[in-house]
């Protein structure tokens, strides 16, 4: 039987994976112009990096490496917030999907941040 902590980590990875799929679907709906294309590529990289780093954390060789992957995932989530906000504020798109992605990105960032603080509180990193 999986521990509660292992279950939460697995659920977070699955949530980040589903989030990546939503971002990819969202990107397909964007206007096809030069500026939007550049922002879309950056958004794709940063948003999918969240989940990729959570997967990498599972294979970390030490507790410090594990925490570092979570930190990188948090930085990617923060970068994703930047690109989503830029798309919104540059009036490239305004949709329910954009609002959902902003909300989900903030929630993922909060979970990651809380996890990092918990890890740092439990051991010296």
Enumerate the domain spans of the chain: 4-122
Write the pLDDT tens digit of every residue in 39-93: 999 999 999 999 999 999 999 999 999 999 999 999 999 999 999 999 999 998 8
CATH class of segment(s) 4-122 = mainly alpha
Nearest to 100 by CA among 23, 7, 4: 23
Q: What is the pLDDT of residue 120?
A: 86
| pTM, to two decimals | 0.89
Confidence of residue 3 (pLDDT cuts 50, 70, 90): low
Greatest Cα pair distance, the chain, in angstroms, is 51
Number of H helices, E strands in the chain: 4, 0
Inter-residue contact 80 to 43 (CB < 8 Å): yes
Contact 120, 21 (CB under 8 A): no
Q: From CA 31, how far away is CA 117, in angstroms rounded?
A: 39
């Amino acid at each position: 039987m999986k521990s509660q902590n292992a279950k939460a980590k697995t659920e977070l990875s699955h949530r980040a994976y589903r989030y990546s799929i939503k971002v990819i679907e969202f990107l397909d709906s964007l206007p096809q112009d030069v500026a939007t294309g550049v922002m879309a590529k950056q958004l794709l990289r940063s948003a999918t990096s969240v989940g990729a780093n959570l997967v990498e954390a599972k294979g970390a060789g030490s507790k410090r490496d594990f925490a570092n992957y979570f930190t990188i995932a948090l930085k990617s989530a923060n970068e994703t917030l930047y690109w989503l906000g830029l798309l919104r504020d540059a009036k490239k798109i305004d949709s329910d999907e954009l609002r959902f992605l902003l909300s989900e990105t903030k929630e993922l960032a909060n979970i990651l941040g809380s996890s990092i603080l918990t890890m740092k509180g439990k051991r010296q990193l």
